[in-house]
Amino acid sequence: EDGGGGGESKFPFNDLLVWTDAEVSTFAAQITLHNFSTYSKITPKEIMHYVKAKSASEKKILCPNITKVVQQFNDFSNWGTTMICKQCLSQERVSVMSTLISLLQELFSLNNLHSSLSLLSTFSSAAVARLKTSFEQIEPSKRAFLEDVKERLSHLSSYKAYRDHIHGLNPPLVPYIGVYLTDLTFVNDGNPDLLQGLINFSKCYKVARVIVEIQQYHTPYVSLTTDRLIQWALTNACFENETESENYRLSKLVEGTDPEKAIRDLIMAEKALKQKIRKMELQASLCSCGDDASGGSSNLDTSAVFSDFDLEGITSKF
């Protein structure tokens, strides 16, 4: 079914402070449908291209759906990190972290292992994992759930716990594609195509076994209703994302080991920004004066005008 018409979605994607249980449930359902839509388009031919592709650029061209699935994973994880690290107040930061764990609970219940692991990587990221004080303020039951899911979907021992978990589930579900891509890489790199000049059917069988497992999880989520506006937003980069380095910088600011240094850095940054603004205002003023002097002509060499002024010296006096 279609839950939307024209226009833009009003869903508060990047304001988790206003999310209620309804928003959490809605978003979990829509991101699951979004993930499944891309995953279900992966074909055996595309998987074979992934095995044989020699470079990332080649994989991007020959394996568009696999590339999209991987990108969705990374974007979603980074979005979660950004949502946490941008909260200046401890109470709001804890609230967002709790909301993301609630979202993880919904995703896990929908068998969306793709986005579940993506959110787990949010909490394992360097920027978030260091927020010890914030973690301590999360409800014990939610912290316990987070640890439980980490164990069930653990990557240790070649994803043994994850494999045991997914093999006990009934579709529909959205697997974590990274497990299969890792398997394919090992099969391809560890087995020659030919043995004594003959086709290595053992390698072919191992690749086929991975392909069959990927294909068996194409059962659709018939119980979930599609919201077209939210799906459009998810497809068109609705997530607010900062770079990994910026998130880490923000993390150190909001929960630093040296609060006085953090405050000093903010004051210095504000001072530098004000100085830059003053400099730009002065440059604009000089441009305006130059235009007036030339009767509005644009022939004035403003670089020559600026060279006569020590802009750094002038602005430093403000």
Q: Are strands 194-195 and 198-199 parallel, antiparallel or unpaired?
A: antiparallel
Residues 134 and 51 in one domain: yes
243, 269, 296 - which closes a domain: 243
Which pLDDT score is estimated for 283? 87
Residues 275 and 230 in one domain: no
* Structural domain for 307, as ranges: 259-315
Residue among 117, 131, 120, 116 nearest 84 (CA)? 131
Eight-state DSSP code of residue 11: -
Residue with tokens 């974590």: 176
Which pLDDT score is estimated for 158? 94
Q: Is residue 178 part of a domain?
A: yes
Which pLDDT score is estimated for 294? 61
Which pLDDT score is estimated for 310? 47
Q: Is residue 1 part of a domain?
A: no
Omega into 172 within 30° of 0, i.e. cis? yes
Q: Are 50 and 61 in contact (CB under 8 A)?
A: no
Residues 198 and 99 in one domain: yes
Residues 151 and 58 in one domain: yes
Concatenate the DSSP letters of all residues of 190-250 into one string. HS-SEETTEE-HHHHHHHHHHHHHHHTT----TTSPB-HHHHHHHHTT------HHHHHHH
CATH code of the domain covering residue 222: 1.10.840.10
Residues 199 and 301 in one domain: no
Which pLDDT score is estimated for 51? 82
217, 243, 269 - which closes a domain: 243
Blockwise average pLDDT, block size 10, the chain, 318 residues = 56 94 96 97 92 88 95 96 96 97 98 98 97 96 98 96 96 96 92 92 93 94 95 90 95 83 79 90 82 57 46 42
Which pLDDT score is estimated for 203? 92
Q: Is residue 252 part of a domain?
A: no
Which pLDDT score is estimated for 187? 93
Which pLDDT score is estimated for 305? 42
Which pLDDT score is estimated for 286? 85
Residue among 129, 178, 122, 128 nearest 155 (CA)? 178
What pTM was estimated for this model as a whole?
Answer: 0.81
Q: Which amino acid is at 22?
A: A
Give how many domains the chain has, as a whole number.
2
Residue among 176, 186, 240 nearest 35 (CA)? 176
Which pLDDT score is estimated for 54? 83
Residues 198 and 53 in one domain: yes
Residues 280 and 233 in one domain: no
Dihedrals phi, psi of 220, to nearest 5 degrees: -75, 160
Q: Is residue 200 part of a domain?
A: yes
Which pLDDT score is estimated for 315? 42
Q: Are 116 and 173 in contact (CB under 8 A)?
A: no
Q: Are 270 and 253 in contact (CB under 8 A)?
A: no
Q: Are 87 and 93 in contact (CB under 8 A)?
A: yes
Residues 156 and 215 in one domain: yes
Q: Is residue 3 part of a domain?
A: no
Alpha-carbon torsion 184, 189, 194, 196, what sign? negative
Residue among 305, 304, 311 nearest 286 (CA)? 305
Q: Is residue 9 part of a domain?
A: no
Secondary structure tally for the chain: helices H, strands E:
17, 2
Residues 26 and 62 in one domain: yes
Residue among 122, 120, 98 nearest 108 (CA)? 120
188, 210, 243 - which closes a domain: 243
Q: Is residue 2 part of a domain?
A: no
Residues 201 and 306 in one domain: no
* Three-class DSSP labels, 130-150: CCHHHHHCCCHHHHHHHHHHH
How far is residue 35's CA from residue 37's CA, in Å, rounded to a whole number?
5
Residues 59 and 90 in one domain: yes
Residues 232 and 266 in one domain: no
Residue among 84, 76, 86 nearest 138 (CA)? 84
Q: Is residue 168 part of a domain?
A: yes
Alpha-carbon torsion 249, 68, 152, 22, what sign? positive
How far is residue 277's CA from residue 297's CA, in Å, rounded to a whole number?
26
Count of Cβ atoms closer than 10 Å to residue 115 Cβ: 26
Which pLDDT score is estimated for 295? 60
Which pLDDT score is estimated for 76? 97
